[in-house]
């Protein structure tokens, strides 16, 4: 007996077997139960999501000896013939190879005769959008006045190519792409039935590779089983599909965000040594960065990203200290790079130079911080004071910054220096100092944290619960070293986990957001209280839509 591929062997046979298309199944079952079955149906959606399978199940439900029924028996002659694609009164027509008007005229002649042994003559036309205009015109008259014994089911991936005159005579059902979790659960059921030993991680990879298509996922699973046999290894799945491991992708993004160009180049070499496509590598980086952006802006991202719970937790911890501006900038550049790699003769060099550039960019600054700096500068200039601009030596060139430069190295002592010697050193200055040292992850984490105690050598930092997992020994040592450079003294860093109900000082991020909110509130109050504005509103009966400051000295 010839081998039957998994996609055919496990083709859905009942409405309840249609994974991810419950809205279609329920509507068709209700129509059958209420005896309100239309004469023409249009099934649209991406490839491999169950359009043709649904058409066959619907045909069996209408022609079953026990029917019409919502649950065809599967054993009567009609059900058996339709399952084997040999139904005498069920015609499956390929619209791509029967595109002419003569083919439709032949179909119209066939429709005139009653079914030989079934309740209905059912015509399933796949890829119906491939029919010619003349063929559609020939079909139109039949759809307008169909015989009572005829039903039409059209399937297409491109409904916009079907004339509106045809669409208006059909009941349309849009098949959705199948979610990764649903595909993975179906794959787990199938491999258990087939006796295949495979991990959930590999099934996740296969399901994600299917791109929402159950047929594509099953075809990939067939390929994996053919390569690995009955025991599938995770590394073999990655190699077979040409995918880069998630660990390598995360390490690459981490190296970029930590500005570690040496590690970036080492990881690109590893990608090359494994024989991965650099375009595929870039595409996966884009997908991972997109997931990180979504995790930053959405509280419940499960429906927007195709990752399991454990993966989501790891990515959430990874993205916590990274600013949204850095991720958006990274995503934009990677998308452009993916397009460049399609035509590049030096893909490795292209990938290397882009990642080196990304790892050399200064950290992004949020808009509230920029506004605060500009306002401070405007106030100083309005008061006749010079701007606080210093030159800080950085490699490869000196750049201008308004952050005080680190003091000359001094011998660290065990005792704390007098407080008055550090009157100009504070928590906000420390965070700015860390940012100037191009440590974006640490500075972002400190901005989200609160200062609980600053009595050198003790520095106690309160961190929100969602970030506390990042406060490991390596993070503590990094902050201690940076703080020691800033305060020119020995510093002992302590972390404390903060709860939602704790009364704590606001973080720098919260202070800046509050200042901006207060500024906008005061600006609106000043504008609405102005006598000219009040007069204009009284005269014209208008409302205030937007308020923009024209007084640059406004505080």
CATH 3.40.50.300 domain locations along the chain? 6-174
pLDDT in tens, 260-288: 889 999 999 988 888 888 998 999 899 99
Look at residue 144 in the predicted model and tell me its pLDDT.
85
Reduced to 3 states (helix: H, G, I; strand: E, B; else coil), residue 91 is strand
Q: Which two tokens stand for residue 365?
A: 């600054």
CATH 3.30.300.180 domain locations along the chain? 403-505
Residues 6+ apart with CB under 8 A from 471: 463, 495
Mean pLDDT (the chain) is: 81
Catalogue the E-assigned strands of 357-449.
390-392, 399-401
Between these two residues, 290 and 302, which has the higher pLDDT value? 290
Across 220-243, average pLDDT: 85
Handedness of CA 541, 547, 550, 555 (dihedral sign): positive
DSSP state of 387: P
Look at residue 348 in the predicted model and tell me its pLDDT.
92
Q: Which two tokens stand for residue 513?
A: 């957001």
Tokens 């640059």 -> residue:
552
Between these two residues, 117 and 541, which has the higher pLDDT value? 117
Q: Which two tokens stand for residue 251?
A: 């390490």
Pair 203, 218: CB distance under 8 Å: no
The whole-angstrom separation of Cα 522 and Cα 333 is: 39
Note the pTM of the prediction, 2 decimals: 0.59
Look at residue 43 in the predicted model and tell me its pLDDT.
94
Pair 470, 321: CB distance under 8 Å: yes
Handedness of CA 501, 502, 503, 508 (dihedral sign): negative
pLDDT in tens, 485-502: 888 888 888 888 887 666
pLDDT in tens, 200-222: 888 888 888 888 899 999 999 99
Between these two residues, 527 and 55, which has the higher pLDDT value? 55
pLDDT in tens, 305-323: 777 677 777 888 888 888 8
Reduced to 3 states (helix: H, G, I; strand: E, B; else coil), residue 96 is coil
Residues 6+ apart with CB under 8 A from 109: none
Look at residue 394 in the predicted model and tell me its pLDDT.
40
CATH 1.10.8.60 domain locations along the chain? 180-241
Reduced to 3 states (helix: H, G, I; strand: E, B; else coil), residue 299 is coil
Look at residue 416 in the predicted model and tell me its pLDDT.
40
pLDDT in tens, 351-377: 999 999 988 877 665 566 667 777 777
Between these two residues, 504 and 22, which has the higher pLDDT value? 22
Compute how many other C-beta atoms are within 10 angstroms of the C-beta atom of residue 225. Answer: 17
Look at residue 155 in the predicted model and tell me its pLDDT.
93
Pair 180, 213: CB distance under 8 Å: no
Q: Which two tokens stand for residue 129?
A: 């959008």
Reduced to 3 states (helix: H, G, I; strand: E, B; else coil), residue 494 is strand
CATH topology of domain 246-360: Zinc Finger, Delta Prime; domain 3 (1.20.272)
Pair 428, 460: CB distance under 8 Å: no
Among 104, 111, 109, 110, residue whose Cα is nearest residue 125: 104
Pick the CATH number of 403-505 from 3.40.50.10310, 3.30.300.180, 3.90.1150.10, 1.10.3720.10: 3.30.300.180
The whole-angstrom separation of Cα 198 and Cα 230 is: 8
Q: Order of strands, edge to edge, in the sheet holding 450-455?
A: 450-455, 458-464, 492-498
Among 130, 87, 86, 91, residue whose Cα is nearest residue 107: 91
Pair 269, 252: CB distance under 8 Å: no
Among 225, 200, 192, 165, residue whose Cα is nearest residue 3: 225
Distance, CA of 528 to chain centre: 43
pLDDT in tens, 372-414: 777 777 776 776 666 554 443 444 433 434 444 444 444 444 3
**Cis bond leading into 68, ω under 30°?**
yes
The whole-angstrom separation of Cα 223 and Cα 133 is: 40
Pick the CATH number of 180-241 from 1.10.8.60, 3.90.1570.10, 2.60.40.10, 3.40.630.30: 1.10.8.60
Q: Which two tokens stand for residue 422?
A: 């550090």
Look at residue 386 in the predicted model and tell me its pLDDT.
60
Between these two residues, 371 and 74, which has the higher pLDDT value? 74
Q: What are phi and psi of 431, to 5 degrees?
A: -65, -40
56 pLDDT band (50/70/90 cuts)?
A: very high
Does position 334 have pLDDT exceeding 80, yes or no?
Answer: yes
Across 167-193, average pLDDT: 90
CATH 1.20.272.10 domain locations along the chain? 246-360
> Any bridge partners for residue 390, and if so which?
401
Among 341, 180, 200, 201, residue whose Cα is nearest residue 271: 341
CATH topology of domain 6-174: Rossmann fold (3.40.50)
**Radius of gyration of the chain, Cα coordinates, nearest whole angstrom:** 33
pLDDT in tens, 116-165: 888 899 999 888 898 888 888 888 888 888 888 999 999 999 999 999 99
Among 173, 93, 160, residue whose Cα is nearest residue 129: 160
The whole-angstrom separation of Cα 224 and Cα 237 is: 7
The whole-angstrom separation of Cα 495 and Cα 28 is: 59
The per-residue DSSP string of 184-241 comes to HHHHHHHHHHHT-B--HHHHHHHHHHTTT-HHHHHHHHHHHHHHHTTB--HHHHHHHH
Percent of the chain with pLDDT over 70: 85
The whole-angstrom separation of Cα 142 and Cα 125 is: 14
60 pLDDT band (50/70/90 cuts)?
A: very high
> Any bridge partners for residue 497, and if so which?
463
DSSP state of 515: H
Does position 451 have pLDDT exceeding 90, yes or no?
Answer: no
Look at residue 397 in the predicted model and tell me its pLDDT.
38
């Amino acid at each position: 007996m010839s081998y039957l591929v998994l996609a055919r062997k496990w083709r859905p046979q009942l409405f309840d077997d249609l994974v991810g298309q419950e809205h279609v199944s329920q509507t068709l079952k209700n129509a059958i139960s209420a005896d309100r079955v239309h004469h023409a149906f249009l099934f649209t959606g991406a490839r491999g999501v169950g359009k043709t399978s649904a058409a066959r199940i619907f045909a069996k439900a209408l022609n079953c000896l026990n029917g019409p029924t919502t649950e065809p028996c599967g054993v009567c002659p009609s059900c058996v013939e339709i399952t084997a694609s040999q139904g005498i009164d069920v015609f499956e027509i390929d619209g791509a190879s029967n595109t002419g008007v003569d083919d439709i005229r032949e179909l119209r002649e066939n429709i005139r005769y009653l079914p030989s042994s079934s309740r209905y003559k059912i015509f399933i036309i796949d890829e119906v959008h491939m029919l010619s205009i003349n063929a559609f015109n020939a079909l139109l008259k039949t759809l307008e006045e169909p015989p009572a014994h005829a039903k039409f089911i059209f399937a297409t991936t491109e409904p916009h190519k079907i004339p509106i005159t045809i669409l208006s005579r059909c009941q349309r059902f849009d098949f959705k792409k199948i979610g990764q979790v649903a595909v993975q659960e179906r794959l787990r059921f199938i491999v258990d039935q087939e006796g295949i030993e495979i991990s959930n991680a590999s099934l996740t990879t296969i399901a994600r590779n299917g791109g929402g298509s159950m047929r594509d996922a099953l075809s990939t699973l067939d390929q994996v089983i053919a390569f690995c046999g009955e025991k599938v290894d995770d590394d073999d799945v990655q190699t077979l599909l040409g995918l880069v491991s998630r660990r390598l992708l995360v390490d690459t993004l981490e190296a970029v965000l930590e500005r570690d160009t040496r590690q970036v180049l080492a990881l690109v070499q590893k990608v090359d040594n494994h024989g991965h496509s650099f375009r595929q590598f870039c595409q996966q980086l884009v997908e991972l960065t997109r997931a990180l952006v979504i995790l930053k802006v959405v509280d419940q991202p499960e429906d927007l990203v195709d990752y399991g719970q454990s993966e989501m937790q790891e990515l959430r911890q990874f993205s916590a200290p990274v600013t949204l501006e850095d991720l958006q900038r990274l995503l934009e550049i990677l998308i452009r790079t993916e397009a460049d790699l399609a035509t590049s003769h030096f893909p490795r060099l292209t990938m290397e130079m882009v990642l080196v550039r990304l790892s050399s960019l200064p950290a992004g600054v949020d808009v509230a911080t920029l506004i605060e700096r500009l306002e401070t500068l405007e106030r100083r200039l309005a008061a006749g004071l010079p701007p606080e601009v210093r030159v800080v030596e950085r490699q490869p060139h000196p750049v201008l910054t308004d952050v005080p430069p680190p003091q000359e190295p001094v011998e660290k002592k065990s005792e704390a220096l007098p407080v008055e010697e550090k009157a100009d050193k504070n928590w906000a200055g420390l965070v700015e100092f860390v940012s100037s040292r191009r440590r974006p992850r640490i500075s972002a984490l400190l901005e989200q944290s609160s200062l609980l105690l600053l009595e050198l050598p003790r520095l106690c930092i309160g961190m929100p619960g969602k970030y506390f997992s990042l406060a490991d020994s390596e993070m503590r040592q990094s902050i201690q070293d940076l703080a020691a450079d800033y305060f020119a003294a020995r510093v002992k860093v302590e972390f404390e986990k903060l709860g939602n109900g704790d009364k704590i000082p606001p973080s720098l991020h919260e202070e800046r957001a509050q200042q901006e909110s207060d500024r906008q509130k005061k600006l609106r109050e000043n504008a609405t209280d102005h006598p000219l504005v009040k007069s204009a509103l009284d005269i014209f009966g208008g409302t205030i839509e937007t308020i923009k400051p024209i007084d640059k000295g406004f505080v």
